[in-house]
């Protein structure tokens, strides 16, 4: 099967952010996305952003237009959130984001009435119904299809770094899991989800799609749900490994890191340099370590098995990418990574709130609601950095 890869501007950015809807008083999930989306459809038809439904009726997804910069894409997301909040606030519905809801139960949730989702649940059963997970997706444009899989394989080296920074699912169905990102291990239970296969060429990817379409596993390439995947329709590489980010500046920071990494690897290809790559068993181990230990993970960083604390390796990586960030005009957004390193990731903040509240997970939900609602907008965050 031929899978066309669309033309896109090099290192352009698009963002997707999955948001929970919660009852403002109880903090429990609210299945009112269809009602909200019905009211939003007419008002947002001509906007750059989109607001759509997801697998469960407790979720809306906001999507940016294609941005030349991270800031442009994040502006779209901020506008989308404002539109959503105009509908949710009068209904006493709150917005929040994390990789999981601290105490919600899967059997209380409703699946969106859509053929695609009904087929998914019919096939995957209990695991599919347990997909109470929220994430972000970062798209970065790639101008040459022959670069796609070399860059994906290089990005896999940094998959644990992205997972650790975004880790925000330490609780699951009312239990403290002991994992920084329980979401990442739940999501990989779906068919075609999890780590990308270590393919080297676009022709091999087309062969993969042929095999799975021919055996009824997939209908088309959009059903490939890898942690890092090609998005042929948009001409992008899409990073899907991250838990849902809890604030807008954190979303911008991770998006900037993905953008500069893709551009860095693209330049290495242009210069004929060898891209970093890890053995698949190291990639798998790194994913587990980041899910389990988050910012305290020691990860394998090269093919010889060198192990480094993920935070230390991230600080070195930021220094190496500084010049590219300047050229891509995302220096201030990227500096948000340093803020996460210094102040902690969402899972750490959630655990601290739970400890202070004697384990009351309702307090964790209200903490997440406050962070999402009262945390700085990206513009406010960047203004603070400029003082």
Which pLDDT does position 383 carry in this prediction? 55
In a domain, 99, yes or no: yes
Which pLDDT does position 380 carry in this prediction? 52
Position 45 confidence tier, pLDDT thresholds 50, 70, 90: confident
pTM: 0.95
In a domain, 101, yes or no: yes
Checking if the pLDDT of 376 tops 50, the result is no
Q: What is the pLDDT of residues 328-348, one digit of tens each?
A: 999 999 999 999 999 999 999
Chain position carrying tokens 């603070």: 384
Across 229-233, average pLDDT: 98
If one counts every other C-beta atom within 10 angstroms of the C-beta of residue 234, the result is 18
Query: What tokens does 154 get?
Result: 């290089």
Domain that holds residue 136: 13-385
**Contact call for residues 191 and 198 (beta carbons, < 8 A):** no
Residue among 296, 280, 108, 293 at smallest CA distance from 185: 293
Instruction: For residues 135 and 150, give the distance between their C-alpha atoms in angstroms, rounded to a whole number.
Output: 24
Checking if the pLDDT of 140 tops 90, the result is yes
Q: What is the pLDDT of residues 257-289, one digit of tens each?
A: 999 999 999 999 999 999 999 999 999 999 999
For 159, residues 6+ apart whose C-beta sits below 8 A from its C-beta are 195, 227, 228, 241, 283, 286, 287, 290
Checking if the pLDDT of 327 tops 50, the result is yes
The region, left, alpha or beta by phi > 0 then psi within -120 to 50, assigned to residue 240 is: alpha
In a domain, 70, yes or no: yes
Chain position carrying tokens 């075609």: 192
In a domain, 6, yes or no: no
In a domain, 3, yes or no: no
For 370, residues 6+ apart whose C-beta sits below 8 A from its C-beta are none
In a domain, 316, yes or no: yes
In a domain, 123, yes or no: yes
Q: What is the pLDDT of residues 9-44, one digit of tens each?
A: 999 999 999 999 999 999 999 999 999 999 898 788
Instruction: For residues 201 and 179, give the distance between their C-alpha atoms in angstroms, rounded to a whole number.
Output: 35
Q: What is the CA radius of gyration of the chain?
A: 20
In a domain, 31, yes or no: yes
**Domain harbouring 346, CATH code:** 3.30.590.20
Instruction: For residues 382 and 41, give the distance between their C-alpha atoms in angstroms, rounded to a whole number.
Output: 31
The CA-atom distances, in angstroms, between 259 and each of 140, 251, 266, 286, 376 are 6, 12, 11, 21, 22
Number of domains in the chain: 1
Q: DSSP letters along 66-81, please? A: -BSSHHHHHHHHHHHH
Instruction: For residues 62 and 75, give the distance between their C-alpha atoms in angstroms, rounded to a whole number.
Output: 12
């Amino acid at each position: 099967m031929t899978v066309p890869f669309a033309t896109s501007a090099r290192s352009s950015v698009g963002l997707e952010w999955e948001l929970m809807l919660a009852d403002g008083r109880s903090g429990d999930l609210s299945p009112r996305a269809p009602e909200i989306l019905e009211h939003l459809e007419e008002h947002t038809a001509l906007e750059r952003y989109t607001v759509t439904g997801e697998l469960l009726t407790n979720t809306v997804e906001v999507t940016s237009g294609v941005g030349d910069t991270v800031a442009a894409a994040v502006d779209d997301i901020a506008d989308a959130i404002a539109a959503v909040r105009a509908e949710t606030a009068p209904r006493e519905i709150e917005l929040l984001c994390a990789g999981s809801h601290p105490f919600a139960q899967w059997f209380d949730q409703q699946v969106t009435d859509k053929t695609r989702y009904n087929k998914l649940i019919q096939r995957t059963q209990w695991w599919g119904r347990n997909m109470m997970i929220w994430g972000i997706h970062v798209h970065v444009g790639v101008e040459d299809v022959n670069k796609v899989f070399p860059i994906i394989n290089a990005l896999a080296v940094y998959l644990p770094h992205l997972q650790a920074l975004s880790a925000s699912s330490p609780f699951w169905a009312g239990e403290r899991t002991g994992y920084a990102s329980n979401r990442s291990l739940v999501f990989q239970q779906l068919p075609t989800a999890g780590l990308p296969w270590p393919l080297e060429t676009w022709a091999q990817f087309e062969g993969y799609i042929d095999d799975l379409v021919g055996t009824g596993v997939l209908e088309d390439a959009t059903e490939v749900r890898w942690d890092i995947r090609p998005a042929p329709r948009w001409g992008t590489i899409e990073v899907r490994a991250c838990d849902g980010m809890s604030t807008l500046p954190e979303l911008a920071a991770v998006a900037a890191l993905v953008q500069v990494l893709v551009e860095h690897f693209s330049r290495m290809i242009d210069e004929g340099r060898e891209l970093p790559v890890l053995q698949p068993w190291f990639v798998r181990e790194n994913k587990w370590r980041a899910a389990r230990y988050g910012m305290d993970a020691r990860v394998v960083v090269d093919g010889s098995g060198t192990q480094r604390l993920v935070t230390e390796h991230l600080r070195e990586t930021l220094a190496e990418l500084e010049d590219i960030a300047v050229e891509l005009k995302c220096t201030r957004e990227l500096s948000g990574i340093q803020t996460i390193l210094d102040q902690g990731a969402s899972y750490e903040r959630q655990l601290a709130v739970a400890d202070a509240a004697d384990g009351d997970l309702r307090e964790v939900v209200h903490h997440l609601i406050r962070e999402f609602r009262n945390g700085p907008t990206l513009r406010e965050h960047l203004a603070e950095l400029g003082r």
